[in-house]
Amino acid sequence: MTIERRELPYPQPLPISSNDMERRVETAQWSAESAKQVGLSLEGSSPETILRRGFEQFAPSIVMATGFGPEGIVLMHLVSEIRPETLVFYLDTDLLFAHTYELRDELVRRLGIRFERVHSGLSLPVQALRHGDKLWERDPDSCCQIRKVIPQRQFLANYSAWITGIRRDQTAFRANTGVVEWDYANKMIKLNPLAAWTSDQVWEHIQTHNLPYNPLHDYGYPSIGCWTCTKAVEPGQDPRSGRWAGKAKTECGIHLPSIKK
């Protein structure tokens, strides 16, 4: 199988409704403790229940994030049934696999997902001029900060809550993930409806509902990010060991801020 990088035209973002422009609802009444208590009360609930509670509380000021992994596919399926107008954003680093863009387009066709492309505004050539060529090889933390963390932080500043697909058994860092958390860095609520799910549950849902997924998963790529920082792994290896392989880095940084510094 040839893994190629191919530039595809970006779709124009769909119009944002006037409801979305109301943006942030009041989150002052929320604290890390109250978020934790709500999360504990929802522990053991289905992802659908957690999503419904989130929408009841925060819509329209709630968005979903996806990196187009299998967890995101499950959540997009559920969101498309519960609140199909929900905006789903992805961080376009200009370095995603062609398969990822093709999956995005398939999700629009199959599930009617309303995507928002979030971008740094910095082209790769300009980044190379300012920071040197192939920054991801020399300083991946800075590269992720520029192309993912800062654009996401700016985007999320307009909302009160976001939904992610992270799971507790993905990494040691994610082991204590709550289904509802206070996100310190973004000063907002973070919903992780699949926190307690296993990888097997995720794949069973995808197969049961015949949902599309990135074909690279069938070729040794259990976790997929930028093509520059993603490698195939051998069977039995840590599924995330193909991300920033050979480096100490295990997270791009967009989920780190949930921990109070």
The reply on whether position 67 binds ligand SF4 by CB under 6 A is no
> Does 252 qualify as catalytic in the annotation?
yes
Residue 201 or 228: the one with the smaller Cβ distance to ligand SF4 is 228
The reply on whether position 190 binds ligand SF4 by CB under 6 A is no
The reply on whether position 179 binds ligand SF4 by CB under 6 A is no
Ranges within 69-108 binding ligand SF4 (CB under 6 A): 93, 95
For residue 151, the minimal CB distance to ligand SF4 (Å) is 10
For residue 94, the minimal CB distance to ligand SF4 (Å) is 9
For residue 247, the minimal CB distance to ligand SF4 (Å) is 9
**If binding means CB under 6 A, how many residues of this protein chain bind ligand SF4?**
13
Tell me the residue ranges of DSSP E strands in the chain. 62-65, 87-91, 114-118, 161-163, 180-183, 188-191
Two tokens, residue 47:
């992802």
* Integer angstrom CA distances of residue 225 from 33, 100, 208, 231: 32, 9, 25, 9
Query: CA 159, 145, 99: angle at the middle one, nearest 5?
Result: 85
| 219 contacts: CB under 8 Å, gap ≥ 6 | 1, 3, 232
CA distance 2 to 228: 15
Segment interacting with ligand SF4 (CB under 6 A) among 31-39, 136-144, 157-165, 195-203: 136-144
Q: Please tell me what DSSP assigns to residue 230.
A: B
Q: Which residues bind ligand SF4 (CB under 6 A)?
A: 93, 95, 136, 140, 143-144, 147-148, 225-226, 228-229, 252
